[in-house]
Structure 1
Amino acid sequence: MVAALELYLDVHATRRIRTLWQALEAEGIPSLGSLNTKHRPHVSLAAAHRMDPEAVVAAVEGVPGLTLSMDFVGQFVGRVLWLGVTVTEELLAHHRTVHERLSAGGVEVWDQYRPGRWVPHCTISMRVPNPMMGPAIRRCLEMLPLTATVTGAGIADHANEIFKPIHGYA
């Protein structure tokens, strides 16, 4: 069970990432889109085993929006492929503000999402087959760079069918 505070991207960026998901699927590479049809392109600011949606909404409502640049491709251990979000002072300040508010609201998050440890990214696939990692990376590089405006946010826990939009975010 994983709950996340997700930032959602503008229509243009969302379409480009969904097109990338489809291109990978056509090549036999599973994408985040096929993992769960409710997934949408996003950047997660925080994650935990569980999050109280009401507490998170109360902690982050009214935080100003962002523009993100995705300029590189990365991977995590376990065959996770992602588009890397370029780190800026604005992004780090935004992330720090959100985590200060979450902490003040009693919301606990995983260490790897805390300020100073977080790797800002947009997940493309959670399970790229090892022999397909090279072609998958090349396909991702073909669509970069990508600029995206954050147009919304929500709490998503797909395993438990929980989705809570955060109104007033961005």
Structure 2
Amino acid sequence: MYGVVLHLDSDAEQKIVKLWKELDGLEISHYAEEIPDRRPHITLADYSELDEKTFTEMFRAFYSSKTKFTLTLGVLGTFLQSGTLFLAPTPTLELIELHADHHDHFKEYTGFSNSLYAPGMWIPHCTIANRLNGQKLAEGLQYCTGKLQVLTAEVVEISIIKLLYKDNQCVSAPAIFSQKLL
């Protein structure tokens, strides 16, 4: 499985990683520790299969002239019945157009039919905790509500990640290609 993800500036990344570690220290979520070198991100698309070489070449050409843009992450939310806690950005024209343009340009690549990242389904978000039971979700919401401030971040990079599984559990998600935005 593959993902196309947006990365934030280092200051925003550090703030989110700090929050991940605080939630880990409070025994609320171990999201920070599940996958080595995990970076905060907003997923644009996911794919079950890719021809890595061809997709990477198309990706490089498509994203080589894209520019950085600013997002405001000011919403703390959860997907119903998911046990996931996330920060969501205010949808901007730049973000919505980037998502639509990506899916239009890469339409020959099929994602998952029920993908949360498909056009018409996508809720842009940056996961801060997952696999939470009801009690841990409530604790996470309470902690984050009291702790977080609105976060302004710049989208500075976009990557293709490859999710690697062992016993149906994702154990690694290395970037196979990254493009810095102008």
Is the pair's TM-score, using the shorter chain for normalization, greater than 0.5?
yes
1:14 corresponding residue in structure 2: 13
Determine helix, strand or coil for the equivalent of 1:113: coil
2:163 is equivalent to residue 163 of structure 1? no
Which residues of 2 match residues 116-131 of structure 1 at below 5 A?
116-131=120-135
Contact kept in structure 1, 2:47 and 2:109, CA below 8 Å: no
Out of 68-77 and 10-19, give the one that drifted further: 68-77
Q: What is the TM-score normalised by the length of structure 2?
A: 0.82
1:12, CA displacement in angstroms?
0.6
Q: 2:53, 2:70 → 1: CA distance? A: 26
Q: Which has the larger radius of gyration?
A: 2
Equivalences, count: 167
User: Which structure 2 residue ranges, 5 or more long, are not aligned?
Assistant: 166-171
1:70 corresponding residue in structure 2: 73
2:175 is equivalent to residue 148 of structure 1? no
Out of 84-93 and 107-116, give the one that drifted further: 107-116
Out of 123-132 and 38-47, give the one that drifted further: 123-132
1:156, CA displacement in angstroms?
1.2
Which residues of 2 match residues 74-93 of structure 1 at below 5 A?
74-76=77-79, 77-93=81-97
Contact kept in structure 2, 1:72 and 1:144, CA below 8 Å: no
Q: 1:94-152: CA deviations, max 9, x gaps? A: 1111111111xx22123431222200000111212321112201222322311111111
Determine helix, strand or coil for the equivalent of 1:107: coil
Q: 2:35, 2:103 → 1: CA distance? A: 27
Determine helix, strand or coil for the equivalent of 1:152: strand
User: Which structure 1 residue ranges, 5 or more long, are not aligned?
Assistant: none
Contact kept in structure 1, 2:28 and 2:139, CA below 8 Å: no
Of Structure 1 and Structure 2, the greater helix share is in: 1
Q: 1:83 corresponds to which letter in structure 2? A: L
Determine helix, strand or coil for the equivalent of 2:91: coil
Contact kept in structure 2, 1:52 and 1:107, CA below 8 Å: no
2:97 is equivalent to residue 98 of structure 1? no
1:92–1:78 CA distance, 2 compared to 1 (3 A): same
Q: 1:69, 1:133 → 2: CA distance? A: 23
Contact kept in structure 1, 2:162 and 2:176, CA below 8 Å: no
Q: 1:46-102: CA deviations, max 9, x gaps? A: 012233443443133223332111111111222111111111222111111111111
Q: 2:149, 2:128 → 1: CA distance? A: 13
